[in-house]
Amino acid sequence: MKKKKLLCGIGVAVLVAGAFFTGHTAGAASKTPGSTGDPLVTLSYLEERLGVAQGGARKVQLSRGDVLNGKPGTGIVVLGVSVTATGSGLVDVTEGAFAEADTSLFPYHSYIAAEESSGCEALSTCTVLVSGEYTVKKNNN
């Protein structure tokens, strides 16, 4: 009985080791995640996918202090950092939450303008993808 258990245990160990070395040889563990050989996500891929998902979103470059206001239903995806919600706020579709005025917006989250005065303000130069009607109030400083 002990001999049978020992042989069964050795058999399982051989199978697990064989599966590991087969995967390793096939290249499953050959690249470092996040490196150039195995990037997690590229910006061009995101822009292409988000552009299709947003119904042909346009890239809009915002300078520090510029305010983008959208009509209700306008979609906004922030491709940079240092952007805050303005006006009545935005609906964060990615999180399923409401982004109130003067709160920071997360990069690559999808936002929808809730009301006429909903939008975002750039705290530094950045790019946003916008689908729908919008206006940009340029900072004159």
For residue 31, the model assigns a pLDDT of: 59
pLDDT of 65 reads 92
**68 contacts: CB under 8 Å, gap ≥ 6:** 60, 62, 76, 119, 120, 121, 122, 128, 130, 134, 135, 136, 137
* pLDDT for the residue numbered 136: 93
| Rounded-to-integer distance, Cα 117 and Cα 113, Å | 8
CB-CB contact of 115 with 42 (8 Å) = no
What is the pLDDT, as a whole number, of residue 128?
Answer: 92
Spans in the chain with pLDDT lower than 50 = 52-54
| pLDDT at res. 66 | 93
Cβ atoms of 92 and 45 closer than 8 Å: no
pLDDT at 112: 93
**DSSP state letter for 12:** H
Instruction: Indicate whether this model's pTM tops 0.85.
Output: no
Q: What pLDDT score does 114 carry? A: 87
